[in-house]
Amino acid sequence: MWWNPTACHPNSLHNGLVDGGASARVANWLNARMLRVGLTGGIGSGKSTVAARLAELGATVIDADRIAREVVEPGTDGLAEIVAEFGESVLTAGGELDRTALAAKAFADDESRARLNAITHPRIGRRTVELMQQAAPDAIVVHDIPLLVEGGMGANYHLVLVVDADEDVRVERLVGSRGMAEQDARARIAAQATREQREAAADVWLDNSGTQEKVRAEVDELWHERLVPFEANVRLRAPRPPKPPVIVEPDPTWAVQAERLLARVRVAAGDKAVRVDHIGSTAVPGLPAKDTIDLQLTVRTLADADLIGDALSDAGFVRAEGHWFDQPQDESTPPERWHKRFHYGADPQRPVNLHVRSTEGPAWRLALLFRDWIREHPKEAEVYADIKQRLARAHADDASSLNYSEEKQSWVDAAFVRAQRWAADTGWEA
């Protein structure tokens, strides 16, 4: 495929206090190479069991709940400012924060809530950054944060781990271990993110409805098979090992996975990004494909691409060595306009190709055109699927996908001509 690179290969008060607005969006730690894992889950899901096991395995666990309590402990300027803002009645007789009393005042209206957040969030953020910066360069930092999904913070982590359990199991735990009334437990669960919202945010989903032994075994496998090599790949900029082409049936979650990845690209690229898009076969619903998600980051110039190369690598999209370019599709465009940068995903269990292209050349537009054209032409998609499957079988014993990609090129080149004609006829625009 032409976009495969041709290269010279070488909701309680407590949760309100820990809302991650500041703590997860402080930019200081986003460029660190350490692997950042966002850990979240609904009340009663058993998230603490997972966090404890990750800590035993060697993770640096940063507990947002604990930080939220620390910044308003007796003697802190955080507590002093809360008292100055909301009055002495928010203190217990012993001088500690009375969370129930504060909730009655701070959550009475949006303005009061904003005043509380203005006190707590910056302090939570600064303390989170301090702890991040204290972690070793090769650390796997697990940020245990209840409202990660509600706050839309997933893009700030290399990977989001969601712990879940059946509602009845969660209610049983809350009634048994916390002494809640069943009605209160169900109300607390209903006030948090839905299962569907958490599924959309999750790179890893752990069902903790069963025994502790079962979930601990799953955490062990995640640690050794995914997190440890992921961290090494980011820190060492490890080259991605080649592998032969394998075409799989379409995965209906490819689009959702791509959205999570694109959000991370946006954060890393900042204002250098003109646009980010899901391209390639996995962006075409129902099309068999290699289980590799192709993304495109469009920048104004390749100089901009070079400026953000390290930031993308730190975010888990490692820049590939070598000279990368797309197959020229016309003779009128100077060859250098087909040059690009190429990054690949460092996550060993989620292959990603990130193509960084400039608006100074035509390739960024052609990638979007091909995607949209083949979406609108099911017969062409069927032919393309047949070609891919036939070539994948022919090259099943190859060490890499290079020959497979090169042999598809003639069909793709001809398809571009048809796609350009369709674009002219329909008025398609990128």
CATH, domain 13-231, list 3.40.800.10, 3.40.50.300, 3.30.450.20, 3.30.830.10: 3.40.50.300
d(CA 92, CA 89): 8
CA–CA distance, 351 with 305 (Å, rounded to integer): 21
Question: Which tokens belong to 156?
Answer: 């700030």
Q: What pLDDT is attached to residue 27? A: 43
Q: Check the annotation: does 112 bind a ligand.
A: no
Residue 44 labelled as part of a binding site: yes
Q: Is 48 annotated as a binding residue?
A: yes
How is residue 57 written in tokens? 């395995």
User: Does the pLDDT at position 418 exceed 80?
Assistant: yes
47 annotated ligand-binding residue: yes
Assign a CATH topology to domain 247-426. Answer: Beta Polymerase; domain 2 (3.30.460)
Annotated ligand binding at 316? The verdict is: no
Quick: pLDDT tens for 386-412.
Answer: 999 999 999 999 999 999 999 999 999
Average pLDDT, the chain: 91
Known binder of ligand: residue 45? Answer: yes
Q: Are the C-beta atoms of residues 269 and 311 closer than 8 Å to each other?
A: yes
**Per-residue pLDDT tens over the stretch 7-36:** 332 233 333 333 434 333 444 455 567 999
pLDDT bracket for residue 6 (50, 70, 90)? very low
Same CATH topology for 13-231 and 247-426: the answer is no
pLDDT of residue 377: 98
Confidence of residue 346 (pLDDT cuts 50, 70, 90): very high
Task: Say what the pTM is.
Answer: 0.89
> Beta strand 293-299 with 352-358: parallel, antiparallel or unpaired?
parallel
Report the pLDDT value the prediction gives residue 100, as an integer from 0 to 100.
Answer: 85
